[in-house]
C-alpha cells in the first residue's frame, strides 16, 4: 500500500517568527498516524529540521546539478545536508514562472534521488486544457517525461486552476486522473508503481479533505494555504489518518 502523506508547501511565506507555528504543526504531526511533511522556505529549513519531531522537512525546489556556478541556486545535496528528506520539483508555479520543462523537472528529480532523498513530482493541467478535454493526455505526457528511472518518488496531481483559488475538481474528475496516474506508474515501474503515493493538491482544506481522501488512488494531499497554520493543517492531517 502507498504511504498516506499530508505535505504542506509554505511557498515564499514565513520568517523566523513563523517557527513557533511550525512547532505547533510538528506537535500536531506527532498525534497522527500518516506521514507528514512541511516544506518551508529555504531560509527556515535548518531551524525547521531542529524542531520538526516526527514531521519530515522538505525543500520547495532545487537545481538539477549538485554543485557549480549557479548564483542564487540551491542543490538537492545542500538541502539533504541540512536535513531535508523531500524536495518538491515541477510545481506549476515554477513550471509557469520559470518555464521549467518536463526534461528539467526530470533532471531535478534525478538530482534529488542522487542526494538520497525523495522528490515530490508535481503535474497538472490548466483550465484551458481541462475545458478542451485534454486533461488525461496532458498529465500523462507531463508525468511520463518528468519521471526518473527509480520508483522512490511521490507524485502530486495539482490542477493549476485549483491552486489557491478555492476551486476543487469534482470527485469523479479527481478519481479519473488519479486512476490514470496509477496506471501509468504501474506501466512504468511494474508492481513498484502500486507503492508510489499519489497526492492531490489544490484548495484542500479541512472541509473537503475527507471526501478527497476517500478516493481510492488518492494517498494524501499537497497543501498550500491551509498548511500555513496548525489550526488549518492539523485537521487535514487528522482526516488523512482517519481515512
Ligand atoms: C500548492 O500550491 O501546492 C497548493 C496546493 O496550494 P493551495 O492548497 O493553496 O491551493
Burial class of residue 218 in the structure, from the number of CB atoms within 10 Å of its CB (0-12 exposed, 13-18 middle, 19+ buried)? buried
Cα distance between residue 227 and residue 237, in whole Å: 10
In 109-164, which ranges are E strands?
118-123, 154-157
User: pLDDT tens for residues 115-145?
Assistant: 999 999 999 999 999 999 999 999 999 999 9
User: pLDDT tens for residues 177-193?
Assistant: 999 999 999 999 999 99
- Pocket of ligand 1 from Cβ distances under 6 Å: 9, 158, 163-164, 201-204, 222-226
Domains recognised in the chain with CATH numbers: 5-242 (3.20.20.70)
Share of the chain above pLDDT 70, in %: 100
Which residues belong to the active site? 91, 158
In the block, cell 507528514 appears at 36
Cα distance between residue 116 and residue 170, in whole Å: 36
Report pLDDT for 207: 97
The answer to whether the predicted template modeling score (pTM) of the entire model surpasses 0.85 is: yes
- DSSP label of 214: T
Burial class of residue 103 in the structure, from the number of CB atoms within 10 Å of its CB (0-12 exposed, 13-18 middle, 19+ buried)? exposed
Residues 16, 30, 219, 151: is their CA dihedral positive or negative? positive
Residue 68 CA, ligand 1 centroid: distance in Å? 31
Residue 205 CA, ligand 1 centroid: distance in Å? 10
**180: three-class secondary structure by DSSP:** helix
H/E run at residue 185: helix 171-189
Share of the chain above pLDDT 90, in %: 100
Cα distance between residue 55 and residue 239, in whole Å: 16
Candidates 64, 105, 86; CA nearest to 7 is 86
Cα distance between residue 100 and residue 96, in whole Å: 7
Query: What phi, psi does 95 have (nearest 5°)?
Result: -60, -40
Residue 201 CA, ligand 1 centroid: distance in Å? 6
Amino acid at each position: 500500500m502507498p504511504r498516506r502523506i499530508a505535505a504542506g508547501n509554505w511557498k515564499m511565506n514565513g520568517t523566523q517568527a513563523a517557527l513557533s507555528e511550525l512547532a505547533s504543526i510538528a506537535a500536531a504531526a506527532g498525534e497522527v498516524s500518516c506521514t507528514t511533511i512541511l516544506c518551508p522556505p529555504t531560509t527556515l529549513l535548518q531551524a525547521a529540521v531542529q524542531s520538526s519531531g516526527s514531521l519530515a522537512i522538505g525543500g520547495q525546489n532545487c537545481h538539477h546539478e549538485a554543485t557549480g556556478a549557479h548564483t542564487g541556486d540551491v542543490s538537492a545535496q545542500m538541502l539533504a545536508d541540512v536535513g531535508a528528506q523531500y524536495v518538491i520539483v515541477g510545481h506549476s508555479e515554477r513550471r509557469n514562472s520559470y518555464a521549467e520543462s518536463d526534461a528539467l523537472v526530470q533532471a531535478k528529480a534525478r538530482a534529488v534521488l542522487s542526494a538520497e532523498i525523495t522528490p515530490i513530482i508535481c503535474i497538472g493541467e490548466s483550465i484551458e486544457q481541462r475545458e478542451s478535454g485534454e486533461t488525461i493526455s496532458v498529465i500523462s505526457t507531463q508525468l511520463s517525461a518528468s519521471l526518473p528511472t527509480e520508483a522512490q518518488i511521490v507524485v502530486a496531481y495539482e490542477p493549476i486552476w485549483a491552486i489557491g483559488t478555492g476551486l476543487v475538481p469534482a470527485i469523479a474528475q479527481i478519481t479519473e486522473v488519479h486512476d490514470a496516474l496509477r496506471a501509468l506508474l504501474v506501466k512504468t515501474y511494474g508492481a513498484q508503481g502500486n507503492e508510489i503515493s499519489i497526492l492531490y493538491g489544490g484548495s484542500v482544506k479541512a472541509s473537503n479533505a475527507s471526501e478527497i481522501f476517500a478516493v481510492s488512488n488518492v494517498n494524501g494531499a499537497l497543501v498550500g494555504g491551509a498548511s500555513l497554520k496548525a489550526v488549518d493543517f492539523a485537521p487535514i492531517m487528522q482526516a488523512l489518518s482517519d481515512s
